[in-house]
Amino acid sequence: MTTTPPEGPQVPRTRVVLAEDSVLLREGLVRVLESSGFEVVAAAGDAEGFLAAVSAERPDMVLTDVRMPPTFTDEGVRAALVVREQFPDVAVMVLSQYVEENYASELLAGRAKGVGYLLKDRVADVGDFVEAMQRVAGGGTALDPEVVAQLFARARRADPLSTLTPREHDVLQLMAEGRSNSGIAAALFVTEGAVEKHVSNLFTKLDLAPTGDDHRRVLAVLRYLDHAEREDQP
């Protein structure tokens, strides 16, 4: 008896550890992920069990809620930060009903490798959720617009534009006009490398987490326009 080998190379599935205290939602997430090509290697109902599973399984990705037992405050997102610190190659997706601004900002800071923060009530389509998981697993980002809005509002309270140098102000103004890095370089008679350095400094000073340069450029411009509007007010 002969057998026919499977066609093409076998692509390894993304291994996931998830944490969700609701049994029904946890089982639902397992089914959705397994049917979408992920391999759920562990599913925990509390932060302690979640971290133990991550340590034992060394997954490619984790999915966790924010509020979990025993206090139902911030155990889940704090556990996500532990994973981020101890296992930097593991992608992290937070799925919650709440935006914890301080922890969200910390979660997004420092590295551009896969991270996401979605709100349960706003995930209206399973396909969109799976696509976001795939994007984060691949090293990208997936942020709910409400998360971005709250982080932006939090940053507005400090007015970090006051820390920019005159040249950085010039670069930001030209960014607001829609100029590319090459266009900014031509306008300021500097090299593109110099512009890239100024843009990088802008992102740092404006505390814009590394979620993709295009995304950060938009946030930087929004902050500039908001600042200009407030300056124009009597």
Domain with CATH 3.40.50.2300 in the chain: 15-144
d(CA 208, CA 152): 9
Max avg pLDDT among 5-9, 111-115, 142-146, 156-160: 142-146
d(CA 176, CA 222): 8
pLDDT, one tens digit per residue, over 126-164 is 999 999 999 999 998 888 888 877 776 665 565 677 778
What pLDDT is recorded for position 123? 83
DSSP state of 206: T
Domain with CATH 1.10.10.10 in the chain: 158-232
Question: What sign for the dihedral angle of Cα 92, 93, 96, 102?
Answer: positive
The CATH topology of domain 15-144 is: Rossmann fold (3.40.50)
pLDDT, one tens digit per residue, over 199-210 is 988 888 887 876
Task: Output the pTM of the full model.
Answer: 0.64
**What is the CATH class of 158-232?**
mainly alpha
User: Which of 90-99, 119-128, 143-152, 176-185 comes out lowest in average pLDDT?
Assistant: 143-152
DSSP state of 189: T
First to last CA, the chain: 87
Question: Between 149 and 51, where is the model more confident?
Answer: 51
What pLDDT is recorded for position 1? 46
